[in-house]
Amino acid sequence: MADSFILWLHGLGDSGPANEPITNFFSAPEFKNTKWAFPTAPSAPVTCNRGAIMDSWFDISNSPITSKSVRDENDVLKAVHDVHAIVDAEIASGISPGNIFICGLSQGGAMAIASVLLYPKTLGGGVVFSGFVPFCSPVAKRVSSEARKTPILWCHGKVDTLVPFEAGQDAYKLIKQIGMRCEFKAYPDLGHSLEDEELRYFASWIKNRLGSSSEVANHKFFCRLFNLCST
């Protein structure tokens, strides 16, 4: 039975299965019972690509994408609802919310941060690569006190021309203003792509949080055992 869950959300025009090689970076024993999911976004016309139909979590009106880009929040919220349904199903199967991670690249990274911000429980973490916050209106009031406890890792290349580095910096400032923990990793020579260094750190970051979750679980187990034996 799985004891942890990692949900990976792909970028615009990509697919879930094409990203599955990411799991090769998660060979540590801590991930032996980790369940992964690589869903593919629905096909839809994308405005910034002249209405071309492609796998997309929500419509994007213009490119490059900045923190001030206009977005259809209803489109975003519908996709967030679908992500939350995936997470809810894993929790119902017995996986602790503290061992669930929502992660993604580019548009998938935007989906990851949106889904973490609006999820009502504290999760193990959210990880964003070359992403952006896909909301135009203020989002802080919509973030629950439990969601504010979810840690965030944000990785962004300084020479990204599709989602400029400034979009990542603006997102970091917003996340900190909300009161959430966020580690921001800048990669000086990286454009709009993933590199092995990022993925190695990604695996390490999640492994460290799985360890913390496991210690809490073990502590609760021994407390229950002690109470049972002392009755």
- Beta strand 43-46 with 52-55 is antiparallel
Contact 58, 79 (CB under 8 A): yes
56, 106, 115, 130: which is the annotated catalytic residue?
A: 106
Could you say which of 14, 67, 115, 192 is catalytic? 192
Catalytic residue at 84?
no
The conformation of residue 197, written as its DSSP 8-state character, comes to H
* C-alpha torsion 198→200→205→207, nearest 10: 160
160 as an active site residue: the answer is yes
Q: What is the dihedral of CA 127, 128, 132, 134, to 10 degrees?
A: -50
- Specify whether 189 is catalytic: no
3-state class of 4 per DSSP?
strand
The catalytic site residues sit at: 106, 160, 192
